[in-house]
Amino acid sequence: MAARVAVTGLGSLSALGNDVAAHLAGLRAGTVGIGPTQGLDVSAMKTKISAEVRGFVPEEHFEPRQLGLVDRTSQFAVVAARQALADAGPAFEGVARHRVGAIFAASVGFHAVDDSYRKLYAEGAPRPHPFTVPRAMPSGQVSHVTMDLGIHGPAFSIASACSSAAHSIGTAFHMVRSGMLDVALAGGGESQITYGMLKSWEALRVLSPEACRPFSKDRSGLVIGEGAGAVVLENLDRARARGATIHAEIVGFGMSADGMDITAPDMESAAASMRFALEDAGLAPEAIGYVSAHGTATALNDKTEAGALRLVFGDHLARLPVSSSKSQYGHTMNASGALDFVTTVLALREGFLPPTMGFREADPDCDLDCVPNAARAAAIEAALSSSFAFGGLNAVLAVKRFDA
């Protein structure tokens, strides 16, 4: 029989703060972490806002000899993983080393790449930093997590754009549920706030110049964020036996591929991934009390997601709150599925609905209760956390409140 899977550890860094307590406080208060970009010169850019992680000092977390090897993306992932494991307590104690795994989003070390290109092309340097390759490699963050925390079991990265971290958590869930692992660390980090990447996103014409307003009729695009989310997942019976605090129970995972377009999403495929998550969880649509939406605040994506929700939930959608926390901490790309999942777990555990900030005008194409502009108290029994990525790579996680 398949094992039940508990969420026993949470870790995060976001524009709302550098740990889970700060993230939770920001969600509840409706804090918007989006503001003028401070970490680099954006005077030559049209878009001058982002959702940066503030007050993060790498030297407080890493030895000097490590810093040359660890890109900002991997730094975030390692710190979030440390937080999650500390929160979970002695989760690895008594577990055979091959039965502890780590699955994290794959993400290029964009700061390493940007620095190397600047040195080579702008400054005429004869060579880049000697550790540019290990700093930039997409598997860097999971490698550093395993080395930092002493993980020796299955460990790998998953690349599916902004569904990467959700795919990572879902895969870890299935590995624990099947009995392959007793404990898994999963999630993802990302930092794309570099000159090259911000200019590249500008070229796509999807960035908002002023705010992230998901589902609002006057929405004007997404805002790039950075950060990381990490969770500890473990066999629920084992977690109970060791007296662990159980934040929630992860119960389902659904995936689909649009197979159509590299940037434009498909409504039917997005709906399919939500249905698969419900089926995997053994939950009827009416059992869901909250959806943490992908909600990027681009015109097409929000309209498509709202349509997919109508296909899945029908009349129940009129009673179903659906919000996008990207309005608070930006779109953290490959990390977004992890941060959104941590947000969903906190909503279940703490009994509130995270808000969609910046909402100003109802859009007939997005006829949703998007919890506008203020958090709301609510006792949620079950929720979905959705990620719909470029290339039509979709991942949806189902989670239930745990009552001991």
Note the CATH number of domain 252-400: 3.40.47.10
* Active-site position among 23, 144, 162, 167: 162
**DSSP string computed for 166-232:** HHHHHHHHHHHHTTS-SEEEEEEEEE--SHHHHHHHHHHT-B-SS---TTBTT---B-BBEEEEEEE
Q: Has domain 5-241 been given CATH number 3.40.47.10?
A: yes
The Cα–Cα gap between 210 and 208 comes to 6
- In the chain, ranges of CATH 3.40.47.10 domains: 5-241, 252-400
The Cα–Cα gap between 230 and 83 comes to 8
What does the pLDDT profile of the chain (404 residues) look like in tens digits? 799 999 999 999 999 999 999 999 999 999 999 999 999 999 999 999 999 999 999 999 999 999 989 999 999 999 999 999 999 999 999 999 999 999 999 999 999 999 999 999 999 999 999 999 999 999 999 999 999 999 999 999 999 999 999 999 999 999 999 999 999 999 999 999 999 999 999 999 999 999 999 999 999 999 999 999 999 999 999 999 999 999 999 999 999 999 999 999 999 999 999 999 999 999 999 999 999 999 999 999 999 999 999 999 999 999 999 999 999 999 999 999 999 999 999 999 999 999 999 999 999 999 999 999 999 999 999 999 999 999 999 999 999 999 87
Annotated active-site residue 331? The verdict is yes
The pLDDT value recorded for residue 1 is 74
Cβ neighbour number for residue 378 with a 10 Å cutoff: 14
The pLDDT value recorded for residue 403 is 87
The pLDDT value recorded for residue 7 is 98
Annotated active-site residue 162? The verdict is yes
The pLDDT value recorded for residue 380 is 96
Annotated active-site residue 370? The verdict is no
The pLDDT value recorded for residue 150 is 97
The Cα–Cα gap between 286 and 272 comes to 16
Per-residue pLDDT of 348-392, as tens digits, reads: 999 999 999 999 999 999 999 999 999 999 999 999 999 999 999
CA torsion through residues 366, 367, 373, 378, sign: negative
Residue 364's Cβ-count burial label (10 Å; 0-12, 13-18, 19+) is exposed
* Active-site position among 111, 167, 247, 294: 294
